[in-house]
Amino acid sequence: MWHSICSYSQLQARPEYGFSLEQGWDKKAGFVVLHAGQVYAYANTCPHQQVSLNWSPHTFFEPNHEFIQCSMHGALFEPSTGLCIRGPCLRQSLQCLPVRVENDHIQVWFEFT
């Protein structure tokens, strides 16, 4: 099911946005980023120790906004692929989520169990 996360214009103003969705007992956490003009969505879980990536709410990029960075051990991930290029989970990837832009709304596909 597609879920509206934020507006595209909101993501243009700040290119990273974290979210959580709940249905009953099932809770999903993820984030969207705008990088090089493209929108990408990932589950908010580092493949190394299954911890949340963000430093603080809506903060997923390292200071230069070139890479997604894990707050636990500093692993760096390519925004366009989710691939870890440095850190304890080298060559592992973030879980990519289907994402689309519909009428200025960023929507992410999540299945609830």
For residue 89, the tally of other CB atoms under 10 A from its CB is: 18
- pTM of the predicted structure, to 2 decimals: 0.94
**Cβ(54)–Cβ(44) under 8 Å?**
yes
CA angle 7, 68, 85 (to 5 degrees): 145
Q: Where are the alpha helices (DSSP H) in 1-113?
A: 8-13
The domain 2-109: what is its CATH number?
Answer: 2.102.10.10
Q: Binning pLDDT at 50, 70 and 90, where does residue 112 land? A: confident
Per-residue pLDDT reduced to its tens digit, 11-28: 999 999 999 999 889 888
Per-residue pLDDT reduced to its tens digit, 57-95: 899 999 999 999 999 999 999 999 999 999 999 999 999
C-alpha distance from residue 60 to each of 8, 71, 89, 97 (Å): 17, 8, 17, 16
Q: In the chain, where are the structural domains located?
A: 2-109
